[in-house]
Amino acid sequence: MNTLPRWADLVLLPVVSLLVALLAAGAVVALVGQDPWEVIQVLVHGAFGTARGFSYTLYYATTFVFTGLAVAVAFHGGLFNIGGEGQAIMGGLGTGLVALWWSAFLPAWLMLPIMMISGALFGMAWAAVPAYLQAYRGSHVVITTIMFNFIASSVLVYLLVNHLRPKGSMSVESAAFAPSAHLPAMHEALAWVGIDWPSSPLNLSVLLAALAAVAVYLFLWRTRAGYRLRAVGSSPSAAEYAGIKARHQVIIAMGISGALAGLVGMNEIAGVSGKLILEFVSGAGFTGIAVALMGRNHPLGIVLASLLFGALFQGGAEVAFEVQGFTRDMVVMLQGFIVLFSGAMTYVIAPLLARVLGWVMLPFASQAKAGVAHG
Give the model's confidence band at 290: pLDDT under 50 very low, under 70 low, under 90 confident, else very high. Answer: confident
What is the average per-residue pLDDT within 205-222?
A: 97
Residue 110: the pLDDT is: 97
Residue 107 CB neighbours (<10 A): 9
Please report the pLDDT score of residue 32 as a whole number.
Answer: 79
Q: Is the pLDDT of residue 273 over 50?
A: yes
Residue 111: per-residue pLDDT: 97
pLDDT band for 37, please (50, 70, 90 cuts): confident
Per-residue model confidence as pLDDT tens digits over 182-194:
999 999 999 999 9
Lowest mean pLDDT among 20-24, 116-120, 195-199: 20-24
Q: Are 76 and 229 in contact (CB under 8 A)?
A: yes
pLDDT higher than 60, residue 372:
no
- Lowest mean pLDDT of 140-144, 242-246, 290-294, name the range: 290-294
Res. 215: pLDDT tops 60: yes
pLDDT digits (tens, 9 = 90+) for 45-65: 999 999 999 999 999 999 999
> Bridge partners of 203?
185
Local confidence band at 340 (pLDDT 50, 70, 90 cut-offs)? confident
What average pLDDT score do residues 328-354 get?
76
Residue 10 CA: distances (Å) to CA of 292, 307, 326, 344, 356: 12, 16, 33, 16, 17
- In the predicted structure, residue 344 carries a pLDDT above the cut 70: no
How much is the pLDDT for 366?
Answer: 58
Longest dimension (CA), the chain: 88
| C-alpha dist (Å) from residue 210 to 66, 214, 314 | 9, 6, 20
N-term to C-term CA, the chain: 30
- What is the pLDDT of the chain when averaged over all its residues? 90
Q: Is 278 helix (H, G, I), strand (E, B) or coil?
A: coil
Q: Is the pLDDT of residue 365 over 60?
A: no
**Does residue 1 have a pLDDT over 50?**
no
**Beta carbons within 8 Å of 116's beta carbon, 6+ residues apart:** 95, 208, 263, 266, 270
φ, ψ of residue 100 to 5 degrees: the values are: -65, -35
Q: Please give the average per-residue pLDDT across 254-271, as a whole number.
A: 97
Yes or no: say if 97 and 252 are a contact pair by the CB < 8 Å rule.
no
Q: Is the pLDDT of residue 267 over 60?
A: yes
Could you say which DSSP state residue 277 is in?
A: B
Question: Once rounded to an integer, what is the mean pLDDT over residues 263-276?
Answer: 96
Q: How far apart are CA 156 and CA 89, in angstroms?
A: 8
Cα separations in angstroms, 81 against 78, 149, 190, 244 = 10, 11, 36, 21
**pLDDT for residue 373:** 53
Candidates 57, 274, 49, 250; CA nearest to 144 is: 250
